[in-house]
A = this chain, B = another copy of it.
Amino acid sequence: MANIGDNIPQAFPSRQNGVLRGVKVAILVVGSVALDSVETPFGKVEDALGGSATYFGVSASSFTPVKLVAAVGTDFPAKHVDLLKKHKIDTTGLEKMEGKTFRWAGVYETNMNNRRTLSTCLNVFEKFSPKIPESYQDIPYLFLANIDPDLQYDVLDKVSRRKRPKLIALDTMNLWIDIKKESLIKVLKKADILLINESEARQFAQEHNLVKAANIILAHGPKAVVIKQGEYGALYFSKTTVFSAPAYLLESVCDPTGAGDSFAGGFFGYLAKKGKLDDKTVRQAMIYGTVMGSFCCQGFSLDKLCKISQKDIQKRYKEIKELTVF
């Protein structure tokens, strides 16, 4: 894999400060793999590859190898598995269950901010109980993509039994704040970083002001919270650092589905690659998140994300620097 980041001297797999150890530097992601039907002002797709773990995995795979745990139905096209494998995503943990793959259908209005869900069919996800393959043991980076917080906790607990991962992050959504807030709080207590949308951060904290909301979230245990603001960028809050990442300004947003998961992939993938959580690395990771989220918006499904090169990523990183430097 080619070198990225203007201050990352080695090619991947790298050894930095003795922290990263070759192929062991991988991310385990648990989440959904889905078939999405999406309509935007720019067109529509039916049963296209989607899901939080898919977007996260493909995005993060530009930075570090990814091992996937998810479930699909017997109807899941083999070409989608091939696509994941092509991105060096380990699919040993992709369980094929009897029944249909999780499906989501939605429509975006002209302004791309209002998303209307047409249907959500959990299908095999209704009975999904994540199993961690033996070959996935001792993975230092764990990302719990947006699924039921009880499943997130179960994975966190299983994975940590032998040795707690170096870094654990999670995403969530309004539904779980509505119906399973206590379960979510239980996961938060054991995790390092929460990634959450602006409106969800406010909902969780019962507080409109984002600085206060972030502090309320941090009081539940995580070391940091990333508040994703869609077309307005993203904010990082920890006890010592506050960082504001701008949005990359796109002249055309084709389909924002998966942008948040792609952001998470860039952010967490870069942290795993660097093997550090210092102030400088976190700021750079936020920008790589922004880069990957913006690429995601430029095509339906994973179309654009699958086409970009390390050079494209690096070019956009520099453009964002140019956009904000003063």
Residues of A within 8 A of B (CB): 110-112, 208-212, 229, 232-233, 235, 242-247, 249-253, 280, 283-284, 286-287, 321, 323-326
Judge whether A249 and B232 touch: CB under 8 Å. no
CA distance A325 to B324 in the complex (A): 8
Assembled-state Cα–Cα distance A39/B121 (Å): 46
User: Please, which residues of chain B bring their CB within 8 A of the CB of A251?
Assistant: 209, 211-212
A243 in contact with B321 (CB, 8 Å)? no
- Closest residue of chain B to A246 (Cβ to Cβ) is B244
Q: State A299–B249 Cα separation when bound (angstroms).
A: 32
Asked whether B249 lies within 8 Å of A283 as measured between CB atoms, the reply is no
Measured CA separation A323–B283 after assembly (Å):
10
User: 13 A-B pairs, CB-CB below 8 angstroms?
Assistant: A112-B208, A209-B250, A209-B252, A232-B233, A242-B249, A244-B323, A244-B324, A245-B326, A283-B325, A286-B326, A321-B326, A324-B324, A324-B326
In the complex, how many angstroms separate the beta carbon of A313 from the nearest chain B beta carbon?
15
CB-nearest residue of chain B to A202 = B111
Interface centre among A233, A244, A253 (most CB of B within 10 A): A244
Please state if A249 and B210 are interface contacts (CB–CB under 8 Å).
Answer: yes
Q: Once bound together, how far apart are the Cα atoms of A243 and B186, in whole Å?
A: 41
A208 touches B323 (CB 8 A): no
Question: Is B249 a contact of A326 with CB atoms below 8 Å?
Answer: no
Contacts of A321 in B (CB 8 A): 326
Indicate if the CB atoms of A209 and B253 lie closer than 8 Å: yes
Given contacts A229-B232, A244-B246, A244-B249, contact A208 B110 (CB under 8 A): yes
Complex interface: chain B residues within 8 A of A245 (CB): 326
- Least Cβ distance of A167 to chain B in Å? 19
What is the minimal beta-carbon distance from A103 to any residue of chain B, in angstroms?
29
Q: Whole-angstrom distance between the alpha carbons of A287 and B244 in the complex?
A: 14
The smallest beta-carbon distance between A187 and chain B, in angstroms, is 26
